Amino acid sequence: MGSKKKEIALQITVGNQEHWEELLSSKGLIVVDVYQAWCGPCKTVISLFRKIKNELGDDLLHFAVAEADSVDSLENYRGKCEPTFLLYAGGELVAVIRGANAPLLHKTILDQLTAEKKVLDQGTKREVIKDDALFTEKEEENADIEVHAEEDELIPSGKSCTVAIIKPDAVAHGKTDEIIMKIQEAGFEILANEERTMTESEAKDFYQHRAKEEKFEELIQFMSSGPCHILIISKFGEDDVIPAWREFIGPTDVEIAKKEKPESLRAQYGTEILFNAVHGSDDKDQASRELAFFFPNFKQTEKPTEPSSNRNPERTLALIRPEILKENKDEVLQKIREAGFTVAMQKEVMLTEEQVQEFYSEHKDKDYYPALLQQMISGPVLALALVKDHAVEEWRKLLGPTNLAEAINEAPNSLRAEFSPKESEINQFHGSLSEEEAERELSFFFPVEYTLATIKPDALAEHQDTILETIQSAGFTIFKVKETYLNRGMAEEFYKEHRGKPFFDQLVNYMCQGPCLMMILSKENAVEEWRKLMGPTDPAEAQRSMPESLRSKFAKSILQNGLHGSSNKTHAMEKMHFIFGDIDLEQ
């Protein structure tokens, strides 16, 4: 009961429009958690808010919760699943934080409280903002139609979600906040968080697929014995978040988890099979059922008919063999582009007999191999890394059958039919058979290099999707990704080579102003290629000399230049280990 009283005292409950208007008339800074009735206020931040309030003891700092459906002024926040925190001062909106990002919330609250005290004590001008979601109906009529489309979206199209449960044993032992912190540190995004005590009937419905198990009744008793935390989670860069989540929580059997996955959540917080601290859906069908069970009003936007721009396009290897390369190179490349492929990398090479034997090792016993070998060493070969959704399948369709007679008769518009050789019976094109084979063959012609890339705070907030799409279209593979908030010590270490320079403190402050997106990018000659894609450090120079570069488009100044890239392989390896720890770049 004591903790409940503290929570009520900590956060003012806003029940209607009149309460809202009274709240905004309060003196000082007001932090409002805007929530939906179906998922409730964000519980993950209560301990943070209490810590801030206790440390500051400031009468000018107020916390509140407001249900969007009950307050007219919050109409445009209705239906949003993402935690939203509105910061008001003097009745004006001064900051908006989306997502339960504890470090960012902490910093923003302290910064805005300091700014508001200056307004009250020194009469400085209050910096107010406008959140698109608070447009009045009149403003909406004049707003760009794209704003309406964005406001209707609950979750980006194609975003993979699953249910995660922090079970009663972990909640009872006070481990909820600690587990949630670990989840977020691992790069998972918490889209909803509801504290709930299941009835026995609900637990039986939820676990009906396990009804024949020996310990079913014991499981039901346990899951209805106290409150759980039900989460909806996603993860950036994962087309299917479920395998990543199951890997993170570890095996069901706690003893196996401790032996095989000692860093997993179950190894750290579970005690036995039933009391294993956390739950994860087994597959997409189960995740959909569990989402509907706990969050019946939770909706995802439908996937568009066109693939999402945030998907990592598939890559495949294409080879144009010597005879056609010599006679029809430009025509073939034109056909490839017209078919919607992006040529991410290309290399014209003379292969040795040994290289051909290595590349076509599985074909050496075939009757046609001697002719193939002779063809492959008769002149230069053009190797292409092609990028497109379903690239392996689409490239093989464009090629047509491997047998020339079949290609001419059955697929006369295919490349193999249209560009059949005059002096050889070997078709003049190669295509990988599968995505796995494509990656192996690409590494043969384009040995992979790795580099660290960073999208800095302002660029991440304003241009994340466009930058990621550009990176992928340029043929980079995002090998690892991590959204992280650099504290001052981390930022100083990250940029230690600039220590002592006049701009060092400004640079560190800039990097600490919000989350960054840290990525390991892979591609042939990745260090140099990423620096080319970024462009010069000075955006004015970037606009003059490399107008298509990222910094030309998104940098604001030499200091706020949006992106970071390692200058050489040694620095790349050092920075990758600093951010991601021990990593296996060969996995």
Q: Hey, what are 3's tokens?
A: 């903790």
210 is in an annotated binding site: no
What are all long-range contacts of 534-538, with beta carbons under 8 Å and residues at least 24 apart? 534/563, 534/565, 537/561
> 488, 506 in Cβ contact below 8 A?
no
Q: At a CB cut-off of 8 Å and minimum separation 6, what does 329 contact?
A: 320, 382
531 is in an annotated binding site: yes
78 is in an annotated binding site: no
Residue 48 Cα distances to 45, 54, 94, 230, angstroms? 5, 10, 20, 20
Q: Hey, what are 143's tokens?
A: 């707003």
Residue 179, H or E segment: helix 176-185
Distance between CA atoms of residues 548 and 81, nearest Å: 36
Q: What are phi and psi of 370, to 5 degrees?
A: -55, -40
Residue 388, helix vs strand vs coil: strand
Q: Is 430 a catalytic residue?
A: yes
Residue of 173, 229, 279, 363 marked catalytic: 279
Q: What are phi and psi of 434, to 5 degrees?
A: -150, 170
Residue 196, helix vs strand vs coil: strand
Residue of 106, 173, 430, 463 marked catalytic: 430
- The DSSP symbol for 242 reads H
Residue of 437, 513, 522 whose CA lies nearest to 479: 522
Distance between CA atoms of residues 534 and 211, nearest Å: 56
456 is in an annotated binding site: yes
561 is in an annotated binding site: yes
553 is in an annotated binding site: no
- The position carrying tokens 């670990």 is 182
Q: Hey, what are 358's tokens?
A: 């290595």
Residue of 106, 390, 564, 571 marked catalytic: 564
Q: Tell me the residue type at 121.
A: D
Indicate which residues carry an active-site annotation. 279, 430, 564
Binding residues are 456, 503, 531, 537, 551, 561
Binding residues for ATP are 456, 503, 531, 537, 551, 561
